Amino acid sequence: MSQGSIPEGGRFFHAGAADGLPKRFGKYTLLHQLATGGMAELFLALHRSVAGFEKLVVIKRILPSMNNDQAFIDMLLHEARIAATLSHPNIVQIFDVGFHEGTYYIAMEHIHGEDLRGIVRQMKKRAMTDFPLEHALGIVLGVCAGLDYAHDRRALDNTPLNIVHRDISPQNVLLTFEGDVKVVDFGIAKSGTSVGEDTRSGRLKGKVPYMSPEQARGEPVDWRSDIFSAGIVLFELTTGKRLFKGANELETLRLICEREYPAPSQIRPGYPARLEQIVMRALAKDRQARYQRARDMQADLEAYIREERLGVSNLAMGRWMRTLFADRLAQQNSTLQDIKQLADVIAAQASHESGTFDSVDMSSHSDYSAWPSAPGAARTVTDAGLSRTRPLMIAGAIALAMSLVGAGSYFVVRQAKANAVAAVSSAAAQPVRDNPAAAQGTLRIVTRPADASVWINGALRAEKTPTTIDKLPRGAELSIELTKEGFAPLRRTILLTDANPDGVIDADMSKGAVTLEVVSTTPGVKIFVDDKAMDGLRADGLAPNEEHRVLVTADGYSPKAAVFTAAANETRTLTLNLDKDSAGSKAEVSPGDAKSAQTAEPPAPTASVAPASTPEPPAPEPPKVTGSGKLNVASRGGFCNVSVDGKPYGPTPVGGIVLPAGNHSVACKSDSGAAKASGVKIEPDQTARISFDLTN
């Protein structure tokens, strides 16, 4: 079995669900088949126990055809037992090794994140060319920490286990949406106490472009091979180029074993000299010249980060990941909720038939009881029980929902929400009628004007007003928000009870537009609001509680930009005076500056007596500039989302943005809501650079 045949940890969904799923598998419920290979298959599973304990896990189950290969079974179980002893924040945890229904299996940690390969692909989709340096360093720090822990691991009798991962590569380094770094696939690591054969040809091998020279030559490897592989990952993240990429595997092996490696500065001029020293030491062909411990490489990276005062932070990495995959996360969160409810139905049926402790008390699950999409459905079915004919229908509904799941991340769940909710609602309808105790309520929402979006407990519903939403839980406050462009948001709190199970919201939405007034003593200024030219220095009818971009320009002056947000019915006044144009001049305005200018009056003209003289003729207008240039945008003290002239370009750093020569507006907004803006002048065939300071 090759490494790539079954992605450990279940990063990829197949198009369809496996036959007979979901189903019980010992103490687990197999929900969906994630991947299959020649020797094993992976499943997303749910582990339930007493007192409402629930945990998503991944089950790696050996195929029946491999059950007679005792050498393989012994090797796999030994390695799994070794991996199960590893408990470190930067290593995916192995929970359980067992035997059920005539086959061996491994249960491992469920990870919500993306591997480095998926992250780079997403960056390309977002037209991001450079991996943020601080995040690249943070990722490799986590890899080094996890590797050092594994390399130094000892048995209970203090005997070194001599664990070597042997496959450190972008596919096996994961960054979660909380900013945690996880090394995956320690389940196939080599240890010094291996039983039977160490490696079978074509079964357990690393990915060729990330092999050390000794591994590529087929020689025995030790922990320093992993350090070399970590050096390759660091090289590629910080240069944006592959280090070893031949026309085929043989050519790649020759590049590793026989050729001289390029230094990072040869790939990227201006590459930091101190960081280059670290990379090249990790990539030494002679393992004696490499870092002898992963902790030594980690220490040098930490020292470099301190010296350069780089903002390496798990929190910042998490924010960056959530921004990078915002659209995908929204789909996951919605659909995972519904799939979880369907899994509750299966557990309820198992409980009803067997009397085991798997019955689900939804009232104790605060994370699920307030779900806005079909809330309470699982509790209803649990309380009422299901007929013997209904499990097949529900199982088919789950299989259908899961079969619509797409690929691309660790357990990425794409939108199958409507199908899943419809299926569980249909299955649960009869028990609800038979058992009035299954408490659900209904909410009628009417707005003037109609077609407002509905948000319940922070989640956007598919319905638009007027609408009636049923199957809402009783006894729990529901936070309702109604939004429509050009109108002030309408917020209500609703409590449905047994005495009053039906609620009504009937309301008029306020127009709530925002007015902008720009004050400037600069002659001949023009203003652009959200990339639209305004007549005069006033803009009416702007949407409330949304970010608006303002650009002020005048011939012979450097442009100035601002970003502001205002409440409904508010008039915002900004004082924006321009500076005379000069090479490389830029003006930067933060929202704080804009806010303080709300009440500022235009400066009074200074009284003076000019000497009598012939007035000078007006200066000729500067010639129109043609051609194009480039713009690089960076940030200090964190990252922010870049937009140029209203067009988004993703999180900083962003480089190589091609723009027509002339004045442009650049805005950069951080996750915290703080935003800064700057005007920039692009010269033909030149590269302009802007760096936003987010520390103040």
Which residues are known to be catalytic? 167
Residues in the chain: 696
Between helix 314-324 and helix 133-151 the angle, nearest 10°, is 120
Report the C-alpha gap between 607 and 609 in whole angstroms: 7
The CA-atom distances, in angstroms, between 98 and each of 41, 47, 59, 562 are 15, 14, 10, 61
Report the C-alpha gap between 88 and 151 in whole angstroms: 12
Q: Is 347:406 a contact under the CB 8 Å cutoff?
A: no
Report the C-alpha gap between 636 and 692 in whole angstroms: 6
**Distance, C-alpha 184 to centroid of its chain:** 18
How is residue 262 written in tokens? 């390029």
Q: Where do runs of H (alpha helix) occur along 325-447? A: 326-354, 366-369, 377-384, 390-403, 417-434
Please compute Rg for the chain using Cα positions: 30
Give me the sign of the Cα torsion angle 320, 325, 330, 334. negative
How is residue 39 written in tokens? 């020797």
DSSP letters spanning 251-320: HHHHHHHTSPPPPHHHHSTT--HHHHHHHHHHT-SSGGGS-SSHHHHHHHHHHHHHHHT----HHHHHHH
E-strand stretches of 154-282: 173-176, 181-183
Report the C-alpha gap between 231 and 278 in whole angstroms: 8
Long-range contacts, 349-357 (Cβ 8 Å, 24+): 349/385, 349/386, 349/390, 349/391, 349/394, 350/24, 351/382, 352/385, 352/386, 357/49, 357/50
Residue 429 burial (CB count, 10 A): 12
Residue type, 639: F
